[in-house]
Amino acid sequence: MTSGNKLRIVGVIPARMNSERLPGKVLRSLAGRAMLHHVYDGARACPLLNEFLVATDAEAVRAYCTQHQIPVLMTSPDHRSGTERIHEVMQRISGDVFVNLQADEPLVGVDHVQLLIDPFLAEETTQVSTLKVPLDVMAAANPNVVKVVTDRRGRALYFSRAPIPYRRDPASSPPYYKHLGLYGYRREALARYFQMAPSQLEQAERLEQMRFLENGIPIQVMETARDTIGVDTEEDWAAVSRLLESGPPSVAG
């Protein structure tokens, strides 16, 4: 894959087997293929990616990827998050921007990847990018759904598990937005992230992206109309299975 810009862009799917709520989910079958395979196939056609690979510490994942001709890199078993795993990849692979496509997001597509990369092509000052999608009022009350509010230029002001903004006057309030946990990182921003201690708001919300904001590193948030379903529970698995079996990935925003 080649891109027509001067940036070298690397897509990474961090994949581990020891998920707390749904162990082994990254290799669990969805419509005849492992979940991480759907992520790979959904994003690999993006022409802006110079390289695209799975990063794992599990031999079973490595074996599956090798069998299905998916590029794979073995990484340390000590990483506590996908961000840490991508940081190791960054030490071993040349790249200017690293795109984090989580292995439990089987509905991800080229459109999502394009939106993550666009801010880096538009502005040399872009450090981190992510996505948001419109959210209804009932879903906004769910603490498992992360919300985001942005400024007028689309830069993140805050992420929270609480319904933000607070609607003191519901009739005249701005909409809610769900944060999709997909990211683009400029190499320098990701390096800085690991030089900083976990931040207070990061620990309070249990949202690692807050470390960037608390340390003054802006996050550009791009809007998509196409939601995804992060697979964390059996119910999520069933919902994605129904969608994949009924046709091409498409989730209403």
Question: Domains of the chain (ranges plus CATH)?
Answer: 9-246 (3.90.550.10)
Beta pairing, strands 97-100 & 72-74: unpaired
Tens-digit pLDDT profile for residues 206-238: 999 999 999 999 999 999 999 999 998 899 999
Q: Phi/psi class of residue 206: alpha, beta or left (left: φ > 0; alpha: ψ in -120 to 50)?
A: left
- Check if the beta carbon of residue 159 is closer than 8 Å to that of residue 208: no
Confidence of residue 93 (pLDDT cuts 50, 70, 90): very high
Q: What is the C-alpha separation between 186 and 61, in angstroms, rounded?
A: 27
Average pLDDT estimate for 101-107: 95
Q: Does the pLDDT at position 121 exceed 90?
A: yes
C-alpha span between 201 and 253 (Å, rounded)? 28
